[in-house]
Amino acid sequence: MMQLVEIKAAGRALRLLVPEAGMPQWLETAGDANAPTPALAALEALVSRGDNARERDIIVPEATLLPTGGMGSFQWPGLAGHRDGRHFVLHFEDWRIERESSDAACLKAREPRASLALTLHLALHDDGVVVLSSRLENQGTDDFQLDRMMAGSYPVSGLDHLMAFEGFWAREFHEVQESLGAGTWLRESRRGRTSHDRHPALICGTPGLPSGEGRVVGAHLGFSGNHLMAVDRLADGMRLIQAGELFEPGEMRLAPGEAYTSPKLYICEAPDMATMRAGFHAHVREHVLSWPGGAMKPRPVLLNTWEGNYFNHDLASLKAQAEAAAKLGIERFVLDDGWFPVRDHERAGLGDWVVDPRKYPNGLEELADHVINLGMEFGLWFEPEMVNPDSALYRAHPEWALRLEGLKLLQSRHQLVLDLTRPEVSEALFQMMHEVLARVKVAFIKWDMNRDLTHVGDARGHAATARQTRAVYALMARLRAAHPDIEIETCASGGGRADYGALAHTHRVWTSDNTDALERQTIQAGLGLFLPPEIMGQHISALPNHQTGRRHALAFRAITAITGHFGIELNPLALTDVERIELAAWIALHKRLRPLLHGASTHFRLADHDGRSVYGVVSADKAQAIVIVAQRTVQVLEHSGPVKVPHLLAHAEYTLHLPGPQTGATWFRHGPPTRALFDGSSLYAGHSLGQIGFRLPIMLPESAVLIEIRRDTNEEKHHG
């Protein structure tokens, strides 16, 4: 007997038909939750196919929650496997619906021929995000070879334009667009980590993404290992988005009684890009992140020592840097790579997580206590998954590196990857890290990973990427359980592990190793579609920039970084007195604006125009907003277009200000705008700022301005 499943939240309903045999079929994804439940017979009639041109074919639904091949289905399968070459066509039956709540359900079925049990989990949250996952259990007496197992599918119609993300080290989250054709769009990543070039996210919409106009469907796979994403075109023109883990040959072989659970696929269907972005942000805050103490504290401004010191750890200098940082208003001091034995360069030391007595004769406690006594938190860098051949650990246990017998070990950045699937390896790493953290008052860990995985074989020579990824999660979870007050940053050569799977165990993403403000403008915009700004590491670095050699004004660097988890990546002792005063002012401004930037605010981004980007934040009560205008290139048009500010109260009046150390003299080609625009003497109606906007003079390339908008507190007097 056919069954109807309705999942409801925030006035919206997902509806699926569940047959006695076969796969659950999507009916609608944006239904009215308050509408009467449709009659089952009428629904069956609506979705039945009577247009089959080849009468011999068995008619089967295509828009299913987890497509399987065979039985008349010729689409791209989301589930595939076999039992020694047999039972490669799977036909599930006896579906049961287990309601968890009105907004979530588990759909369960069995495959009696293949002795398999399937569970499909479906949830719709108040933030508009749909979460899908799947589980397959082998109930047979011999092994079942699982070749593919997607988290689920999501139907899309009328959106034939796609935006995905590619890049490289120091240039992550680059938006690329294309029109979807008649076949299947497919992207696979085999790097053993989320990756820089094939980030597991996509957006379907109409041409012109990311203009902010028109309905969109965004998808993100919460997983840090090998993955694939597919958009399959069905016979009626509808498309199915699917995503899941990518298995190496023979990697996912389920023994009797074993089960496989997929990563979670997160989908947000929204009327526009801003609503989609807000949905993902809200979901990460509420359902993905888990903060020490149960709630996020204000994100502390931090100094990271890497670009200011690299491997040169001079204790006296580091203490002086900490003192200078505290005077600037820094709240967290993070000691990066180089604190462990023989780590004077990147070719040695990884794997030996003990303090170098040459650099720290009294242990790290001396520096950490100094930092804490200055009123800051102390943070520490680790790269637990890696090992240098030139290390005590590797010399004692060369067999602990991932390898394939008979093949040469491939080094990258002079390092190999430790096999965390071996319990003794994970235990050794935990004990070394635990001993350091038990002695030193560490509030924050920068957890790095600086190479892709190759030759990922375990002690038996079997593919191990899937288990390696889960072993990393397990080590993070164990360390957090032992030290529950510590926050962790996920870093993988910058933004190579920026996914919801990693964020379930961490609290911050190092967005990119590239701290060049011009490059960060687009890097942060791409990742910011899926991550809230308060967990995106955004730092001010020194001149010239260490990745690009560019020189940017401190204002451009500060404004580019100020919206996220703000920090500096330089040696504060190298600053001039003028730079020190200005930087302290930017830090103070960030702290004042932090509740707005990281709170229950509305974020918006206008379509780029003439080399200019506009990003804004409006407070929940609409009494305050900031607008950041960045001019990346030389303007082509003779006149600048208007800057419009949506989401303000239409009939309220507002004033515009240039807060912090801004005068405008260094931003604009022909001098600052008229004084009346920003001195608070002029009042602007909310509807005028939203519909007409305001105009700025022509800006210099590679410059930015931050404008604060405040609701006039004397409105009643003005209107009296």
Tokens describing residue 125: 């949250």
Token pair for 9? 């939240």
In a domain, 377, yes or no: yes
Q: What are phi and psi of 373, to 5 degrees?
A: -65, -20
* H/E stretch holding 266: strand 264-270
Pair 208, 352 in one domain: no
345 plus 403 within the same structural domain: yes
Pairwise CA distance, residues 571 & 588, whole Å: 19
**Residue given tokens 């990311």 in the structure block:** 210
What's the confidence (pLDDT) of residue 35? Answer: 87
Q: What 3-state DSSP class applies to 300?
A: coil
- 558 and 482 part of one domain: yes
pTM for this one? 0.96
> Domain for residue 27, yes or no?
no
What is the distance between the alpha carbons of residues 326 and 573, in angstroms, rounded to a whole number? 12
Task: Provide the terminal-to-terminal Cα distance of the chain, rounded to the nearest Å.
Answer: 68
Angle between helices 423-439 and 465-482 (to 10 degrees): 30
Based on the domain organization, do 474 and 510 belong to the same domain?
Answer: yes
- Active site members: 448, 513
Q: Report if residue 398 sits inside a domain.
A: yes
Q: Is 42 exposed, middle or buried (0-12, 13-18, 19+ CB in 10 A)?
A: exposed
**pLDDT score of 41:** 65
- Are 443 and 589 members of one domain? yes
Residue 53 lies in a domain: no
* Rounded Cα distance, 662 and 648, in Å: 24
**Helix/strand number for the chain, H first, E second:** 15, 35
List all residues 6 or more positions away from 314 whose beta carbon is below 8 Å from its beta carbon: 359
Residue appearing with tokens 């060369």:
398
Of the candidates 439, 615, 431, 438, the residue with the CA atom closest to the CA atom of residue 536: 615
Which three-class secondary structure state does DSSP give residue 299?
Answer: coil
Closest CA to 710 of 630, 638, 656: 656
Residue 406's contacts (CB-CB under 8 Å, 6 or more residues apart) are none
d(CA 11, CA 511): 35
Can you list the alpha helix ranges (DSSP code H) found in 351-443? 365-373, 392-396, 423-439
Kindly state the DSSP code that residue 679 receives in the 8-state scheme: B
* The residue count for the chain: 720
Question: 409 with 464, same domain?
Answer: yes
Q: Residue 422's closest CA among 387, 383, 457?
A: 457
159 and 134 both lie in a single domain: yes
Cβ within 8 Å of residue 399, ≥6 positions away? 459
Domain with residue 678: its CATH number is 2.60.40.1180
CATH of the domain at 131: 2.70.98.60
Whether residue 96 is contained in a domain is answered as yes
Residues 623 and 586 in one domain: no
pLDDT of residue 693: 95
Return the number of other C-beta atoms located less than 10 Å from residue 398's C-beta: 13
Q: Is residue 55 part of a domain?
A: no
Question: What per-residue confidence (pLDDT) applies to 719?
Answer: 44
Task: Confirm whether 32 is domain-assigned.
Answer: no
Other CB atoms within 10 Å distance of the CB of residue 74: 12
Beta carbons of 570 and 554 less than 8 angstroms apart: no
Considering only CA atoms, which of 626, 614, 598 is closest in space to residue 521? 614
Please spell the DSSP secondary structure of 157-186, one letter per residue: -S--EEEEEEEETTEEEEEEEEE--SS-EE
Q: Are residues 585 and 487 in the same domain?
A: yes
Residues 258, 344 within the same domain: no
Domain end call among 288, 311, 331: 288
At 48 the pLDDT is: 62
Question: What pLDDT score was predicted for residue 49?
Answer: 55
Are 512 and 468 within one domain?
Answer: yes
User: Which parts of 49-142 are beta strand (E)?
Assistant: 79-82, 93-101, 104-111, 116-124, 129-138
Domain that holds residue 429: 299-596
Last residue of a domain, which of 257, 288, 319? 288
For residues 625 and 537, state if they share a domain.
no
CB 513 within 8 A of CB 494: yes
173: left (phi over 0), alpha (psi -120 to 50) or beta: left
Using alpha carbons, select from 640, 643, 602 the residue that is nearest to residue 619.
602
What pLDDT shows up at residue 38?
A: 75
The closest of 566, 75, 91 to 304, measured between CA atoms, is 566
Per the structure, how many domains does the chain have?
3
Mean pLDDT by 10 residues, the chain (720 residues): 92 94 94 83 62 60 91 88 94 93 95 97 97 98 98 96 95 95 95 96 90 89 98 94 97 98 98 94 97 97 98 98 98 98 97 98 98 98 98 98 93 96 98 98 98 93 96 98 98 97 98 98 96 98 97 97 98 98 98 95 90 95 97 92 95 95 70 71 94 92 96 64
User: Quick check: is 10 in a domain?
Assistant: no
C-alpha 684: how far from chain center: 37
How far apart CA 248 and CA 150 sit, in angstroms, is 15
Select from 579, 596, 613 the last residue of a domain: 596
Rounded CA separation 542/549 (Å): 10
For residue 151, the one-letter residue type is A
C-alpha distance from residue 572 to each of 45, 264, 318, 322, 592 (Å): 71, 42, 10, 9, 22
Q: What CATH number does residue 537 fall under?
A: 3.20.20.70
Give 516-527 as a 3 state SS string.
Answer: CHHHHHHHHHHH
Taking the C-alpha atoms of residue 669 and residue 652, their distance in angstroms, rounded to an integer, is 33
Cβ atoms of 18 and 95 within 8 Å: the answer is yes
Q: What is the pLDDT of residue 36?
A: 85
Is-contact 468 453, C-beta < 8 A? yes
CA 611, CA 470: separation in Å to the nearest integer? 42
